[in-house]
Amino acid sequence: MILVDTDVLIWVLRGQESWIKEFEKMVGDARGNIFITPVQIAEIYAGLRPKEVQKVEDFLASLRSVDLDDEMGKIAGGYINKYGKSHSVTMADALIAATASTKNLKLWTSNKKHYPMLDADNFYD
């Protein structure tokens, strides 16, 4: 079960062939158990152009969304408290990491440095 970070989603949506191939491989590896959160949705919509709306909506609808809850909020707050100043951890990255850890999901990202709170085995490669 894999949680896909915003950076990966953006590369796929932009049509980057290497990312599309990796995404297709990941779909097979995860047997369709691919997740996002409202955080990734918000980050994508923040940079969305009007002509991209339908393509993005269709793509995001093919993924499963994990709702954020109080426990994830507490964990994310702890991550920011611990890593916010030293590693510039943002609220978005803290919430994504908290979701991955509470739901036992592997995080697929090309920005592992944004997630100092996760161990190497918490990532999908």
> Is the alpha carbon torsion for 99, 101, 106, 107 positive or negative?
positive
Core vs surface per residue 40-52: b (16+ CB within 10 A) or e? bbebbeeeeeeee
Alpha helices in the chain (DSSP H): 6-13, 17-29, 38-46, 53-61, 70-87, 91-102
Q: State residue 32's pLDDT score.
A: 84
CATH code at position 31: 3.40.50.1010
Tell me which residue of 83, 41, 87 sits closest to 62, measured CA to CA.
Answer: 41
pLDDT at 125 > cutoff 90: no
pLDDT tens profile 37-84: 999 999 999 999 999 999 999 999 999 999 999 999 999 999 999 999
Give the residue numbers spanning the domain of 74. Answer: 2-122
Average pLDDT (6-29) is 95
pLDDT tens profile 76-103: 999 999 999 999 999 999 999 999 999 9
**Length of the chain in residues, anyone?**
125
